[in-house]
Structure 1
Amino acid sequence: MQRLKALTWDHPRGYNALAAAARRLDLAESGLAIDWDKQPLEGFESYPIADLCARYDLVVLDHPHVGEAVDGDCLQPLESIFEEATINLLRAESIGPSLRSYHFTGQHWALPLDAATQVMAARADLLVGPAPVLWDEVLLLSQKTGKVALSLAGPHAALSFLSIATALGEPPAERDPDILVSEQVGTEVYDLMNELAARSPHVVRQKNPISILEHMAAHDDVALVPLVYGYVNYAAPVSGRPITFHNAPRLEPGDRPGSTLGGTGIGISRRCEVTPALKRHLLWLMSADAQIGFIPCHEGQPSRREAWHDAGVNARWGRFYSNTVATLEQAYVRPRHNGYIAFQSRASALLRESFLENAPARGVINRLQTLYADHRGSKGGER
C-alpha cells in the first residue's frame, strides 16, 4: 500500500471533498492511501512552499506561489507526469484561466482543482432593488447606506486594487511587466477605494473573506461587498441568511468585470512517487463525474466549466455559479514571479495605512510602484 501525505487548507471548500475522495473504496483497492492534513489558508504565506513540499507529497496551493516553487525546485511539472493530450484536454475543460494560471517558465505546475475569483456578495433582503452592476452604482449605494464593505485584511486590499485597475481597462503589469499600473489609473483606483474604505463598516475591516461572509450571513450591518472571493458555501448556508453572489462591478455596461483570480491547484512535490493509481485518482478529481457530482456534493467549488453551467449544481447552490461565471471567465491573473507574494502583503499594508491617513494618491501610487519594482528585481521571469 502506498501512503501519501497531503496538505490543503482548513475550510469545508478546501478539505471536505478531498478527504471524502481519499475514503473512496476504489482508491484503497488500487493500493493507494492519501492522508489529508489542513492548515489555515494564510499558512501558505507563512511557510515557504519548498518547506511544505519537503514534508508533503501533494500540496494544495494558490497560483502566485508558482514562481517561488519553481525557484525552489520543489514541484514536478505536469508535463513530466501526464501526456500532452491530457494537459490540452484539461486546458479546454477548465474554466477561465484556471489551468493557465499554473503555467510558468514553459510548464504547468498544478492541477486546477478549485476555481474562484473576486465577485460581488450581497444580502438581497437588505437592498432596495437589484444589486449594483457598475462601480458608480456601488459608490452611490455606499453613500446612501453606509453598508458597503471593502475586503481589506491580509492581501485583499492589494487584490482589490488590482481588480479595480482591471475594470478600468488596465490589468496591472500586463502591458509592461515592469510597471504595476500607470499613475492616472492608479490614482483613480486609489481614490475610489479610499472613499469606500472611509465608509466601510468597522466591524469587518480586520476580517478575511470567509469571516466577512460569515458576518454578513449573521448580521444586518453589511449589505454589499463589491469584491470578495466567492465561497459557494454561503449561497446556501446551514445557518444564517443566504448571500447572493453576482459578477464583479464594471466601469460601464458591457465592460470587463474587474476581478483577480483565486482558486487552488494540486501540486505534486518532488518527493512524491507518481504511480498509475495516483495519476488515475488525480485525473478523476478533474473529471466530469467528480467536478459536477462529487465535489459540489462535498462543499467543494469545481474548476470544470461544465459544472459552472450545470442546472442541477446551480439549483442546489443558489445560482452562485451561473451568476458569477462571466467574471471568472475574464478574471485577471496575477504576476507569479518569486517575490510577488511578499509584494502583495506589503502593498496591502501600505494601502490600509494610506486609507486610515487619507494620504494623497500620487505618493501612494509611487510607493506601490517602488514596492513592486523592489520585489520584482532580478526575479522577474514570466508573469
Structure 2
Amino acid sequence: MTDSVVLKGMTWSDPRGYDPVVAAASAFAETHPGVSIEWDKRSLQGFETTPVDELAARYDLMVIDHPHVGSVADRGCLLPFEEFASEDALAELANHSIGRSFQSYFLNGHQWALPIDAATQVQAHRADLSPRVQNWSDVIRKAEDGHVIWPLRSPHVLMNLYTLAANVGHPCATSYGDLIDPETGRQVLEQLRAVAKHMDDAFYEMDPIAVLDELSSSDRYHLSPLVYLYKGYANDGYRKHRIHFTDMPVLGRNGPLGSALGGTGIAISSKTAHPQLCTEFALWVASAECQRGLYVKANGQPGNALAWSDPAVNAETLDAYFNTRLTHETAWLRPRHDGYMQFQEEGSEIVADALRGKLEPDQAVTRLNERFRASFNRESH
C-alpha cells in the first residue's frame, strides 16, 4: 500500500474499552504498512447515551451498545457487515458468541456490529469478607446489615427490573404492548424495594465503575448483587482488593437466567472511505485468535466464547468467566426498536422513583407500560 490510511475510531474510556482496541490497532498496523487507527474515547455515560448516527458522521469505527441498533438500522449510518464480510466468517463468530451477544447486533436482516466484549448483570463480592449469596432473600439480609452497594444510576436501575422479571419466568416485552404484566411488575418492584430501602441516596448517581471502585477499596461493603461484569476488578493489582464475580443471585426457581445483557460491539460507519479495511480489522478483533491473546492481555474483556473457555484467561480473573458463564449464556436481550433509547431513560426514572418510595409499585408499572407503548410511536429526530 503506497498511500497512508488513517482510520478514526471511537470507544469508551474505561481501560476495558480503550486499552484493547488501541493494542489491536497497533498490531494491525504492523501487518498493514501505511495503515493506522486512532482511537478517541468517551465516558461510560456517554457510551450509553450518545446517538450512534452522530458518531458515524465523524468516525470510521465505533464501539457501540446493542440497544442503539434499532435507532440506526434504517438510517443508513452503519455498514452492514455482510456487505464485505464472508458468510463463513460471520457464521464462525456467531458460533463463538457468548449467549445472545452476536444476535444482539442483528436487526432487520443485517449484522450491524460484531461482539468484542461480553457482559451482563452478575454478582460481585468480596470473598475475603463474606461468601457469595445464592438467593435474593440473602441479598435482602445483606442489605439490612449495611453490606450491599448497588449501581442505581440510569440505565442500571431499569436493568435490575429487567433481570428479576426474566429470572422469575416473566421477561419484559421487546415488542409493542405492555412492558411488564402488573403482577410480575409488582412482585419485582417489591423485591427491589426491599433492598433499596437500605441503600444510600448516593447510589442513584453511581454506575458499575463507581460501585466496583468503592467495593474494591474499602471493607464497608461486601456485595453488589446485580452489576455488569468488569473483569479488571478481579485482576491482581488493579485495585486494593480483588473482587470475585459469580452467577447472579436468583429470585425465581430456574437458576441464574434472565440477566439483562450488556457488552459492546464494533461497528463501521457507512461513510468510511475504507470499508474493506475496517471490516478486516473488526473481524480480526472479534476473532478467537485476537480475543484470547492480545485482547485480554491489554485489559480487554472478551466477547468470544473460546476466550471465555480458556483456563489461562480465567486464571488472571479469579475464574470470572467460568463463574459467570451460565448467567451470560442465559441472559435476556432487551428491546432495540427505534424509540427505545428514550424509553430507557424514562423507564429508569420511573423505577428509581418506585425504589425511593415516590411511586407505589402499581403506579410505577402503569407508567412503565404507558411510556413503553408510546416509545413505538415516537418519530426520531
| TM-score normalised to structure 1 length | 0.93
Aligned to 1:110: 113
Q: 1:376 to 1:354 in 2, by over 3 A?
A: same
Aligned to 2:72: 69
Q: Residue 69 of structure 2 contacts residue 105 of structure 2 at CA under 8 Å; is this kept in 1? A: yes
Q: Which runs of 4+ in 1 moved over 6 A?
A: none
Q: What is the alpha-carbon distance in structure 2 between the residues aligned to residue 360 and residue 150 of structure 1?
A: 21
- SS of the equivalent of 2:197 reads helix
Q: Residue 126 of structure 2 contacts residue 215 of structure 2 at CA under 8 Å; is this kept in 1? A: yes
Deviation at 1:139, TM superposition (A): 1.9
Q: What is the alpha-carbon distance in structure 1 between the residues aligned to residue 276 and residue 379 of structure 2?
A: 36
- SS of the equivalent of 1:51 reads helix
Q: What is the alpha-carbon distance in structure 2 between the residues aligned to residue 276 and residue 368 of structure 1?
A: 43
Aligned to 1:258: 258
| 1:34 equivalenced with 2:37 (yes/no) | yes
| 1:15 equivalenced with 2:14 (yes/no) | no
Deviation at 1:259, TM superposition (A): 0.8
1:131-171 per-position Cα deviation (integer Å, ceiling 9, x unaligned):
1112122223323x121233211211111110110111111
Deviation at 1:282, TM superposition (A): 2.1
1:220-273 per-position Cα deviation (integer Å, ceiling 9, x unaligned):
222111100110000124231111111112235553433111111011011113
Q: Residue 167 of structure 1 contacts residue 249 of structure 1 at CA under 8 Å; is this kept in 2? A: no
Residue of 57, 61, 68 corresponding to 1:58: 61
Deviation at 1:189, TM superposition (A): 0.6
| 1:134 equivalenced with 2:135 (yes/no) | yes
Deviation at 1:377, TM superposition (A): 2.2
Aligned to 1:160: 160
Aligned to 2:151: 151
Q: Aligned pairs, how many?
A: 376
Q: 1:98 to 1:25 in 2, by over 3 A?
A: closer
Q: What is the alpha-carbon distance in structure 2 between the residues aligned to residue 350 and residue 197 of structure 1?
A: 14
Farther-moved stretch of structure 1 (290-299 vs 254-263)? 254-263
Deviation at 1:109, TM superposition (A): 0.3
1:7-29 per-position Cα deviation (integer Å, ceiling 9, x unaligned):
00001000001111111265463
Give, as a single letter, the amino acid of the residue that structure 2 aligns with 1:218.
S
Q: Residue 165 of structure 2 contacts residue 172 of structure 2 at CA under 8 Å; is this kept in 1? A: yes
Query: C-alpha root-mean-square deviation of aligned residues, in Å?
Result: 1.9
Residue of 90, 93, 97 corresponding to 2:96: 93
Q: 1:357 to 1:25 in 2, by over 3 A?
A: closer
Deviation at 1:276, TM superposition (A): 4.5
Aligned to 2:295: 295
1:100-142 per-position Cα deviation (integer Å, ceiling 9, x unaligned):
0001111110011111111001111221xx3111212222332
Give, as a single letter, the amino acid of the residue that structure 2 aligns with 1:227.
L
Give, as a single letter, the amino acid of the residue that structure 2 aligns with 1:118.
Q
Q: List alignment gaps of at least 5 residues for structure 1.
A: none
Q: Residue 161 of structure 1 contacts residue 189 of structure 1 at CA under 8 Å; is this kept in 2? A: yes
Q: 1:265 to 1:25 in 2, by over 3 A?
A: closer
Q: What is the alpha-carbon distance in structure 2 between the residues aligned to residue 85 and residue 280 of structure 1?
A: 14
Aligned to 1:221: 220
Deviation at 1:83, TM superposition (A): 1.6
Q: What is the alpha-carbon distance in structure 1 between the residues aligned to residue 23 and residue 195 of structure 2?
A: 41
Aligned to 2:312: 312
Q: 1:27 to 1:274 in 2, by over 3 A?
A: farther
Q: Residue 118 of structure 1 contacts residue 229 of structure 1 at CA under 8 Å; is this kept in 2? A: yes
Residue of 70, 80, 104 corresponding to 2:83: 80
Q: 1:97 to 1:240 in 2, by over 3 A?
A: same
Deviation at 1:336, TM superposition (A): 0.3
Q: What is the alpha-carbon distance in structure 2 between the residues aligned to residue 159 and residue 206 of structure 1?
A: 15
Farther-moved stretch of structure 1 (196-205 vs 342-351)? 196-205
